[in-house]
Structure 1
Amino acid sequence: MKTKKIFSSIGVVTAAALALVACGKSGNNDNATNTVKKFAKETPVKTAKQGGTVKVALETDTPFTGIFSPELSTMSTDASVAGPGDEELFDTDNQYKINDKGPATLKLDRNAKTATITVKKGVKWSDGEQVNAKDIEYSYEILANKKTASQRYNSQFEDILGMKEYHDGKAKTISGIEMPQGEKGRTVVIHFKELKPGMYYSGNGYFWESAAPYHYLKNVPFNKLQSSNQIRQKPLYFGPFKVQKIVRGQSVTWVPNKYYWRGRPKLNKIVIQVVSPNSASQSIKSHKFDIAAVRNSQWDQVKNTKNVNFVAQIPLSYNYLGFKVGKWDAKQNKNVMDPKSKMANKSLRQAIGYAMNVSAVDKRYTQGLSFQVPTLIPAQFGDYFNKDVKGYNYDLKKANSLLDKAGYKKKGKWRVQPNGKPLTIHFLAMSGSSIQDPIIQNYLQQWHKIGLNVKLTGGRLTEANSFYDKVQHDDPSVDMFDAGWALASEPSPQNLYGENTSSNYERFVTPENTKLLNEIDSQKAFNHKYRVQKFHEWQQYMFDQAYVIPTDNAYSISAVNSKLTGYSTKPSQNNNGHQLWYQVGYAK
């Protein structure tokens, strides 16, 4: 989910929320590159003064859920509103490699198969309590105890000794998490079956990078944790700001955490408030907010706004089309594929991908600021990205040919299944900005052109919370869905597409996929050349199989009050995938 320094995967983020649902070709990509060169990655560096309030726009057409716990939250909007307080244990350099500058230090020992995490003295919760070993251990209990119903638990954690036994209810403690100085000490030693090559980087998915305030939460039963006041109304964080006020689903007001370990932050107050995506451009032009994300479809409306700095980045994320081909088995804690599912035919999935005229959509709606991503590993990951995979570029002739050869014959207007039965495909898409509906209607028309009777689930775009519920719980009214991932900064795809991760929302499981994912994270993969090779093989395999078809990514542009300094998109200046708010202030 780096918005993902946040964890391993930050849950489903719709295409509408991240950008659009489209993908462009190289020409558009060049256009976007030329456009974005005008932007800086951070605000001008100036000396900041003490004081002031910053108003931040959270652009969403639905209330945020308000689960203030990284262990339990799955929504990107919740992660955004938690940003001023939710600091992670580790800082990184600009390549996302963990360093010793953050709240805690990390020491890996390949021979002993251990990770030693030591919290720095003076790192305190906003009630003044020192963050301790039990707080780190307790976060794993929240993740792994089935009573919390955490969506964050995945099979990668089972590399920790005793984790699976605790998750399955066969042990009362996690045997592989040792607290050598006791619960109130500051050191935790985690024992693994083996260390993995990605563990030197944040977002690797094998160990958690947050802590949970045990002293504050210990009396709340696990099955009531997610709905408790301690999580929903009065959360504790050890970051630079603490919660002053929450207007449920609408706004959060933050004030300085007087115990913050790096010292008092510059600002007196941060107010994060929901604003409709449709009025985002007007909010920027009228300077209603000091920081607001630019909707790329509205770039032309805001680009000449005075007294703002436009700060841009290419986020570690992508939008995609996913096909439901199975179910999540909670008892076995794994995905179970159904070879007879409606979308099990590879040719059908490929044809749907080739029918999408995404280049034209990008050109029309995103000012060239969205661009195609051909594989599930973004180009930002350097040599891990397989440049030989070309992606599903628009090709109606190929789409029709695939369907003809696979036996999807036309019977009147629509094609039927190879067995002669009618075929209706139910497509789940989330509501968003004003351009979301015409974009989705466009794709429906494209699929209709090749004779596929694709209909929107529920007959219309689906509200965000309902969308997530349907996708995560394998609602039978969903055959395919349009979503997006905010990715971890360590590129292993295990936690998104593995057999034992509930985030594999397509529910596809094949021996080859499992083999390749395991090889990517194997001991052999400490050899960089070998790991690169396996990443390339996996991307080619996923392209061929088309269980998930990546569509696009988009430049993420923020309009920042020109009086502010200290705002940056560089990984080393972020924590938890968010701005390090303690350094943001008004220039003197």
Structure 2
Amino acid sequence: MKSSTTNNKKAIKGGTLSVAEVSSSPIAGIFAPELSDNASDAQFMQFATESLFGVGKDYKYTDKGAATLKLDRKAKTATIKVKKNVTWSDGKPVVAKDVEYAYEIIANKNSKSSRYTDSLQNIKGMEEYHSGSANNISGITEPDGDNGKTVVLHFKQMKPGMKQSGNGYIWESAEPYHYLKDVAFSDLAKSDKVRKDPVTFGPFKFSKVVSGQSVEFTRNKYYYKGTPKLKAVNVEVLAPAKAVTAIKSKKYDIVLDTPASQYKNYKNAKGYQMVGQQALQYSYIGFNLGKYDTKTSTNVMNKNAKMNNRSLRQAMMYALNLDEVAKKFYPGVRTRATTLIPPAFSSYHLDSKGYALNLKKAKNLLDKAGYKKGKDGYRTDPKGKKLTIHFAVMQNDDTSDAMYQDFIQQWKKVGLRVKLTTGRAIEFNAFYNKVENNTSDIDVFAAAWQLSSEPSPMDLYSKDAPYNFSRFTSKENTKLLDEIDSEKSFDTAYRVKAFKKWQKYMLNEAAVVPTLYYNTIYPTSTRVKNYAISPADKEYAQWQDVAVTSTSR
């Protein structure tokens, strides 16, 4: 499987690219990275909302993006310089204030951004601004003023991950302050300026938005790398049930997030090539162990939570036959996951067996922990009370429904009574609303992560991370996460060891356990030229180079 297209034909002038984003729900349509939480929004935004920084092999920063980045470990700073010709789609230049403003959106409590994390609190003054005790972020300075091109970030500590994209300590987007400054932070996420008429500096601009369904992109005539080869890009939501038919009828040039369960039905589709790579993604089982305290911005465990028993959590994972699930439901596109750092990060990935099927071990764990079987074959809790575990899953397709029923049947084999929360799969947005709020009708949930290209797990599993949906915290977890991102971990060998210690610890705690690793596969029309999904092939921001070689598919 190749991560870029093979097409040696001559590109035609202009042309419109038709793209489908496969989703069972309408997109949220929040077109600002600081405020958006779901992957579908990001798939739409990628054509217009470009990163500040270029990215090359191994996801390391390059100087080929809209801005350059220079780290100074001694001074504990990162200097960002926006290139002179980088311009917003309304013709205004991208300036220092636009870079700073993106941080303000994330850190301002009124914006309710989930992007505010432990990592960003490493910038001096960030916590004070977030709490409202300061009117600006003292650790973000502009040597040449708001309308200059230079921004300096002042950190409390330098982190080894700062050398590559997705590190969490350096935000990689900017927002047009001149355009959004009159919108209150509390209104930004619902503003038309974010949802219907965003201003961006990528190769294309938002031209027409149909809420929740589609976006028409046209060329950004001010794009700093020159005129994009394509005249326009049309992106729309496609229901999973219609994906295979759409591919076979050649309705789209590129189909994003195609159902893995249907791969066998479209992998040989005529007129397409399969562009793919090992994904920075995995699905997981999470256990509801507490709440996120919005007043203190920290995760707080509930010692009385139903799932606050490590043996119970481990037993549930040993009861699952994930190797068979991958083989039966997702042949060729998924494999059983073993740790929370996927093998795409080959240097940092722990070589572990993880939770392979072991019903005997699962039963022994439950027996020793006091979960006794009753006459009905189901277990009670250690206090002798009826035990019913509520399992939340999101709507997807018939295959995922069958997989979750398989999970429930496996748990029954070890005497655990597990029922779906609400009695059925939950719509995507409603599912995450419940999970984020740790509602009482969720004990266990099945979800997935699209990971950053910097493998530090700090923003997903730390004490202060809003995305730590299980709400698991401990002194040891904090210590191990801090080690991964410590000064000592500028030494790669030291950092590798720190990653592996954390993975072993989390496997044993089983508060969040990975289930399947993914391959990303995008069916792509053979008329598409210069399309690549890996920075190992070319620059990440490459939509300006994509072209088509014929007028029809």
Q: TM-score, normalised by structure 2?
A: 0.97
Q: CA deviation at 1:460?
A: 0.3
Query: 1:586 is matched by which residue type in structure 2?
Result: V
Deviates more, 1:564-573 or 1:520-529: 564-573
Q: In 2, are the aligned partners of 1:573 and 1:579 still within 8 Å (CA)?
A: no
Which 5+ residue runs of structure 2 have no aligned equivalent? none
Q: CA deviation at 1:299?
A: 2.2
Q: CA deviation at 1:73?
A: 0.1
Q: In 2, are the aligned partners of 1:58 and 1:77 still within 8 Å (CA)?
A: yes
- Provide Cα deviations, 1:293-331, integer angstroms capped at 9, x if missing partner: 443322222233222111111111111000011110111
Partner of residue 77, structure 2: 114
Q: Does 1:252 align with 2:220?
A: no
Partner of residue 18, structure 2: 55
- Provide Cα deviations, 1:57-79, integer angstroms capped at 9, x if missing partner: 11011100000000000010111
Counterparts in 2 of 1:451 and 1:343: CA distance versus 1, 3 Å: same
Q: Does 1:349 align with 2:349?
A: no
Partner Cα separation in structure 2 for residue 301 and residue 421 of structure 1: 47
1:336 paired residue among 291, 300, 318: 300
Q: Does 1:123 align with 2:86?
A: yes
Partner of residue 561, structure 1: 525
Partner Cα separation in structure 2 for residue 422 and residue 300 of structure 1: 43
Q: CA deviation at 1:468?
A: 0.9
1:585 paired residue among 539, 547, 553: 547
Partner of residue 237, structure 2: 274
Which 5+ residue runs of structure 1 have no aligned equivalent? 1-38
What pairs up with 1:310-325 in 2 under 5 angstroms? 310-325=274-289
2:31 paired residue among 57, 68, 77: 68
Query: 1:459 is matched by which residue type in structure 2?
Result: G
Q: CA deviation at 1:367?
A: 2.2
- Provide Cα deviations, 1:413-456, integer angstroms capped at 9, x if missing partner: 21011011111111100010221211111111111111111110
SS across alignment from 1:558: strand
Q: In 2, are the aligned partners of 1:92 and 1:572 still within 8 Å (CA)?
A: no
SS across alignment from 1:131: coil
Counterparts in 2 of 1:476 and 1:574: CA distance versus 1, 3 Å: farther
SS across alignment from 1:415: coil
Partner Cα separation in structure 1 for residue 133 and residue 7 of structure 2: 54
Partner Cα separation in structure 2 for residue 471 and residue 49 of structure 1: 48
SS across alignment from 1:571: coil
Partner Cα separation in structure 2 for residue 71 and residue 520 of structure 1: 25
- Provide Cα deviations, 1:321-375, integer angstroms capped at 9, x if missing partner: 0001111011111001112211010000001101111222221121232111200
Partner Cα separation in structure 1 for residue 165 and residue 331 of structure 2: 33
Partner of residue 202, structure 1: 165
Query: 2:350 is matched by which residue type in structure 1?
Result: N
Q: Which has the higher contact order (CA 8 A, sep 6+)?
A: 1
SS across alignment from 2:291: strand
1:212 paired residue among 175, 178, 188: 175
What pairs up with 1:272-311 in 2 under 5 angstroms? 272-293=235-256, 294-311=258-275
Deviates more, 1:109-118 or 1:291-300: 291-300
Partner of residue 402, structure 1: 365
Partner of residue 344, structure 2: 380
Q: CA deviation at 1:571?
A: 1.8
Q: Does 1:364 align with 2:328?
A: yes
Deviates more, 1:451-460 or 1:288-297: 288-297
Q: CA deviation at 1:382?
A: 2.1
Q: Does 1:419 align with 2:419?
A: no
Q: CA deviation at 1:487?
A: 0.7
Moved over 6 A (4+): none
Q: In 1, are the aligned partners of 2:310 and 2:510 still within 8 Å (CA)?
A: yes
Q: CA deviation at 1:45?
A: 5.0
Partner of residue 230, structure 1: 193
Q: Does 1:459 align with 2:423?
A: yes
Deviates more, 1:298-307 or 1:83-92: 298-307
Deviates more, 1:254-263 or 1:391-400: 391-400
2:4 paired residue among 35, 42, 46: 42
Partner of residue 265, structure 1: 228
Q: CA deviation at 1:587?
A: 2.7
- Provide Cα deviations, 1:196-218, integer angstroms capped at 9, x if missing partner: 11101010001100001100000
Q: CA deviation at 1:579?
A: 6.3
SS across alignment from 1:272: strand
What pairs up with 1:498-509 in 2 under 5 angstroms? 498-509=462-473
Deviates more, 1:57-66 or 1:302-311: 302-311
Partner Cα separation in structure 2 for residue 117 and residue 309 of structure 1: 39
Q: In 1, are the aligned partners of 2:276 and 2:520 still within 8 Å (CA)?
A: yes
Q: CA deviation at 1:50?
A: 2.2
Identity between Structure 1 and Structure 2 (%) = 48
Over the aligned positions, Cα root-mean-square deviation in angstroms equals 1.2
Query: 1:430 is matched by which residue type in structure 2?
Result: M
Q: In 2, are the aligned partners of 1:567 and 1:579 still within 8 Å (CA)?
A: no
Q: In 2, are the aligned partners of 1:278 and 1:434 still within 8 Å (CA)?
A: no
Partner of residue 434, structure 2: 470
Partner Cα separation in structure 2 for residue 295 and residue 511 of structure 1: 39
Q: Does 1:166 align with 2:113?
A: no
Query: 2:421 is matched by which residue type in structure 1?
Result: T
Q: In 1, are the aligned partners of 2:54 and 2:541 still within 8 Å (CA)?
A: no
1:148 paired residue among 88, 111, 126: 111
Q: Does 1:96 align with 2:59?
A: yes
Q: In 1, are the aligned partners of 2:283 and 2:516 still within 8 Å (CA)?
A: yes
1:138 paired residue among 90, 101, 111: 101
Q: In 2, are the aligned partners of 1:311 and 1:559 still within 8 Å (CA)?
A: yes
Query: 1:176 is matched by which residue type in structure 2?
Result: G
Deviates more, 1:434-443 or 1:534-543: 434-443
Q: In 1, are the aligned partners of 2:214 and 2:235 still within 8 Å (CA)?
A: yes
Q: In 2, are the aligned partners of 1:144 and 1:153 still within 8 Å (CA)?
A: yes
Partner Cα separation in structure 1 for residue 530 and residue 114 of structure 2: 34
Partner Cα separation in structure 2 for residue 98 and residue 302 of structure 1: 35
Q: In 2, are the aligned partners of 1:568 and 1:579 still within 8 Å (CA)?
A: no
